[in-house]
Amino acid sequence: MSDNQATLNDGGKTITMPIKSGTIGPDVIDIRKLYAETGKFTYDPGFTSTASCDSALTYIDGDEGVLLHRGYPIGQLAEHSSFMEVSYLLLNGELPSSDELSQFSRTITRHTMLHEQLMTFYRGFRRDAHPMAVMCGVVGALSAFYHDSTDISDPVQRMIASHRLIAKMPTIAAMAYKYSVGQPFIYPDNSLSYTGNFLRMTFGVPAEPYVVNPVVERALDRIFILHADHEQNASTSTVRLAGSSGANPFACIAAGIACLWGPAHGGANEAALNMLREIGTPDRIPHYIARAKDKNDPFRLMGFGHRVYKNYDPRATVMQQTVREVFASLNVTDPLFETALQLEEIALNDPYFVEKKLFPNVDFYSGIILSAIGFPTAMFTALFALARTVGWVAQWNEMISDPGQKIGRPRQLYTGPAQRDYLPVDKR
Ligand code: CMC
């Protein structure tokens, strides 16, 4: 391999391929001409060695536990910034001035209401529907209500659709919750912050005024920051792949929500809390650690391990601190937090987890905070989807704006039967 090209010996024929460098992080070997020159594909199920695109949004160094958005470390953003500011940063590339931030927040606020007819759409769901099922359906349906922002070749329409999605997700998620508990939908109150408004739409009732607790508002805003974007993860790649065919943004985000729902991805926050409840008390931890290590048992420690992080997930560090702040401010405790801390300590000292570099991820502690705030477990992944929407739309915009963008179309290693002749049923 030379400085700027890699060579491959394929049956005596030497192929050279350019090496491209990013700002930071591993270089990539540009294999786009490989098939034309060798008649061979690369093989990388699960994309463990494949960069699928150029992106200037988010950088992760999984070995060092680093996460940067547009260059800014997640710890600094979580401590000093707000979800609106991080949203602006992800969408526009730079931190906003004070005027730009006010203008952006006003724009998002103006889009918080949902078309009134969507209320009847909700009533078609069963009351016990999972909020993520409702989110997939309602977000997909937005394209039927907001046709005027579905021309993806128009950058203005693309930005309006992005603002609409960021603004409407809290309303959609809160309505999914309200519907499940049989309470009236609460309309947005644009005098509140993005996160305060979401808390009121979720926990407020028309019969009483709702006062937003500033500590809870700040904690939830921070959780939203921690989930805002995460490079080319499964749901973001789903949004990009769906968008690469020219599908409208509402349909693409619905696809992302569907992918996020899985327990290996966003569904892990729900699964992690359910697991902690099942473990119950610290004395039962060794039994579950043994199960997680047993190859014949499908059980895994939920909220542990990550495809990219082979070190402590920096989001989990902030999340653990936030649990302590929320508990102190609400004057609550949760024995599950103690169980989680002990589980973490035991796992981090166990050779199985050490050798495989399995550390707590963002989902390990988030459920404990969300539960203390009052969210039912089934809402956890819906909150992840709400926050990740900005990352999805920013990545989608970046892809559509790229003049070299093509439809995503992976190839395969075919392992089925070779060509054979059809036999009529009486001859089989
Ligand atoms: N508990 C026990 N063993 C584990 C775990 C775990 N949580 N995670 C990975 N392993 C083992 C796995 O059995 C495998 O062992 P071996 O090499 O002996 O076969 C090895 O570690 C590598 O695992 P993998 O499944 O090949 O790794 P992956 O990169 O494909 O999977 C993961 C990453 C996140 C899907 C996986 O670690 C996992 O299932 N974790 C639990 C679910 C979870 O917490 N997901 C949230 C991820 S962060 C938020 C998000 O992305 O939405």
What is the percent of the chain where pLDDT is above 70? 99
Nearest to 82 by CA among 185, 206, 224: 224
pLDDT at 2: 47
Per-residue pLDDT of 152-172, as tens digits, reads 999 999 999 999 999 999 999
Per-residue buried b or exposed e for 225-253, using 16+ beta carbons within 10 Å of the residue's own CB? bbbbbbbbbbbbbbbbbbbbeebbbbbbb
Q: Which of 270, 306, 381 to mutate to test the pocket of ligand 1 (most atoms within 8 A of CB)?
A: 306
Give CA–CA dist 97/123, Å, rounded. 42
Per-residue pLDDT of 356-404, as tens digits, reads 999 999 999 999 999 999 999 999 999 999 999 999 999 999 999 999 9
Q: What is the DSSP letter of 184?
A: P
Amino acid identity of 329? S
Q: Is the per-residue pLDDT at 64 higher than 60?
A: yes
387 lines ligand 1 (CB under 6 A): no
User: Which residue spans of the chain are classified as CATH 1.10.580.10?
Assistant: 74-402
C-alpha of residue 271 to centroid of ligand 1, in Å: 13
The predicted model gives 243-258 an average pLDDT of 97
Cβ-based neighbours of 361, under 8 Å, separated by 6 or more? 268, 303, 304, 305, 306, 309, 313, 315, 316
Closest residue CA from atom 4 of ligand 1? 300
Indicate the average pLDDT of the chain: 95
Per-residue pLDDT of 313-356, as tens digits, reads 999 999 999 999 899 888 888 899 999 999 999 999 999 999 99
Instruction: Report residue 262: phi and psi, to 5°.
Output: -60, 145
Q: Which CATH fold would you assign to the domain 5-51?
A: Rubrerythrin, domain 2 (2.20.28)
Instruction: Give catalytic status of residue 306 as yes or no.
Output: yes
| The CATH number of domain 74-402 is 1.10.580.10 | yes
301 lines ligand 1 (CB under 6 A): yes
Are 108 and 163 a contacting pair, CB within 8 Å? yes
Q: Is the per-residue pLDDT at 149 higher than 90?
A: no
What is the percent of the chain where pLDDT is above 90? 93
Instruction: Give catalytic status of residue 163 as yes or no.
Output: no
Are 176 and 138 a contacting pair, CB within 8 Å? yes
Per-residue pLDDT band at 3 (split at 50, 70, 90):
low
Angle, helices 155-181 vs 249-260, to 10°: value is 50
DSSP, collapsed to helix, strand or coil, labels residue 298 as coil
Are 309 and 359 a contacting pair, CB within 8 Å? yes
Closest residue CA from atom 11 of ligand 1? 356
Per-residue pLDDT band at 1 (split at 50, 70, 90):
very low
Give ∠ CA 326-329-332 in degrees, rounded to 5: 75
C-alpha of residue 193 to centroid of ligand 1, in Å: 36
Instruction: Report residue 7: phi and psi, to 5°.
Output: -115, 145
Per-residue pLDDT of 201-240, as tens digits, reads 999 999 999 999 999 999 999 999 999 999 999 999 999 9
Cβ-based neighbours of 2, under 8 Å, separated by 6 or more? none
Tokens 């203008």, residue located: 103
Q: Which two tokens mark 356?
A: 């495989």
Q: Of 363, 402, 421, 426, which is the active-site residue? A: 363
264 lines ligand 1 (CB under 6 A): yes
Q: Is the per-residue pLDDT at 410 higher than 90?
A: yes
User: Which residue spans of the chain are classified as CATH 2.20.28.60?
Assistant: 5-51
pTM for this entry: 0.94
Per-residue pLDDT band at 197 (split at 50, 70, 90):
very high
Q: Of 111, 163, 227, 306, which is the active-site residue? A: 306
